[in-house]
Structure 1
Amino acid sequence: MREEEVFRGIAARVAARDYSDYVYVRPGYLDANGAWVREPAPEDMRWMEERGSQEHLAALAADAVDPLPPLEPASVQAVDEAEQALGHPLPPLLRRIYLEVANGGFGPVMGVAGGSTDDLGLTAVDRLDSREPSGLLPIAYWGCAVYSYVDCAGRGAMMWGFDPNSGLAEHSFHAEGISLVDWLDRWLNGRLEQPCLAPDPA
């Protein structure tokens, strides 16, 4: 039941073209009443604001937010090829999202072939590396080489973080302690944060 709620929530956000954590708004400022006042600017100029911020909501109320482009689902072939490359089936919820809603592109989520990529133009499948733990699929890119992975080999589709900037070498992979369902639910509710490793002070 919870998986169905998360699926429907993501599908609704994608259908409403409200799926990015950052939005493009037409230049302006908040007045004393919190309303967005447009400023003279070239027609093609946009500012980036965090989704849900006061600026975003005020610009939205003033019809100063550009709609995001529609997202397309993945092909069955692309998802099947991802599972073959990984050597494990995708978690049912992720497979369904890819096939019925979007091939990545919502929040930090990466796609399979033909879908959303990281800043190097790599899909989740392109990022697979035989030197990394088996069964982990990188499904989210956060910038600065930080990724979130879902464990497709273990029970519960648990999430893992990868932060090569941690200085912890082989320990850069770490369990996040939440399932894919919880992780996606956090994104839907604006509570998802990138994985972060902090050395144990002891």
Structure 2
Amino acid sequence: MREEEVLRGIATRVAARDYSDHVFVRPGYLDPTGVWTLEPAPEGIRQVVDRGSQEHLAALAADAVDPLPPLEPASVQAVDDAEQALGYPLPPLLRRVYLEVANGGFGPVLGVAGGCTDDLGRTLIDLLDSRQRPGFLPIAYWGCAIYSYVDCAGRGAMMWGFDPNSGMAEHSFYSEGISLLEWLDRWLNGRLEQPCLAPDY
């Protein structure tokens, strides 16, 4: 896996407007034969299904999957301003993705943070917290207070997980043992898993 391959893979998904793990489909259900059967619903109502699930594949075969909104790259000025606000440079790969492909919004679950807002209307800058480690940038929110961070200050742009649900605060922040490049590659290939210290039921 090389940086150019990952960048191309993300660009392909963004251009196809198929860049999220959450897929919006016209309401329906899987019938006993595995066919997506549409159900009457008000205009504009959609179901959310997981990418690669039986429901997703059946809805895709039935032409019942809606394309996601288009994403736009960030301007150089916007990325420079963000780096200044953050107080450190972005990893080169992340900077290239923002400038050449999309200003966030693509990726696992709710998408990589950037100029696009998350489910609570927050941008990448809004997610920064003075209590977190210097140089650590929260780039993905998984829900239930779980985040993935990239270490912008260290070598190799390594990924870290934050999961406060274990009840052991001193262990909530931990290395995922992979780089940003590998993290993005795993997402593209459907192999990225949410950081998790304890099951969140």
Q: TM-score, normalised by structure 2?
A: 0.91
Give the number of aligned pairs.
196
Aligned equivalent of 1:40: 40
1:23 alignment partner, SS class: strand
Q: Deviations over 1:86-134 (max 9, x none)?
A: 222111110000011111111243333xx22333322222222222111
Per-residue deviation at 1:45? 2.4
The residue number in structure 2 matching 1:186 is: 186
Distance 1:193 1:117 in 2: 22
**1:93 match:** 93
Matches of 2:37 and 2:131, distance apart in 1: 52
Equivalent position SS for 2:125:
coil
* CA deviation after TM superposition for structure 1 residue 76, in Å: 1.4
Unaligned runs of 5+ residues in structure 2 are none
Supply the RMSD in Å over aligned alpha carbons.
Answer: 1.6
Given residue 14 of structure 2, which amino acid in structure 1 is its aligned partner? V
Matched, 1:111 2:113: yes
1:72 corresponds to 2:44: no
State the alpha-carbon separation in 1 of the partners of residues 171 and 81 from structure 2: 29
- Distance in 1 of aligned mates of 2:45 and 2:7: 34
- 1:30: how far off? 2.2
Deviation at residue 27 of structure 1 after TM alignment: 1.8
Q: Partner amino acid for 1:74?
A: A
- In 2, the alpha carbon distance for the partners of 1:59 and 1:118 equals 25
Q: How far apart, in 2, do the equivalents of 1:10 and 1:86 lie? A: 24
5 Å matches for 1:1-202? 2-107=2-107, 108-112=110-114, 115-198=115-198
Q: Which runs of 5+ in 1 are unaligned?
A: none
Amino acid of the residue matched to residue 77 of structure 1?
Q
Q: 1:98 touches 1:111 (CA, 8 Å); kept in 2?
A: no
The residue matched to 2:170 in structure 1 has which SS? Answer: helix
Shift, 1:179, TM fit: 0.3
Distance 2:133 2:79 in 1: 20
1:58 positional shift: 1.1
Percent identity of equivalent pairs: 81
Structure 1 length-normalised TM = 0.90
SS in 2 for 1:126: helix
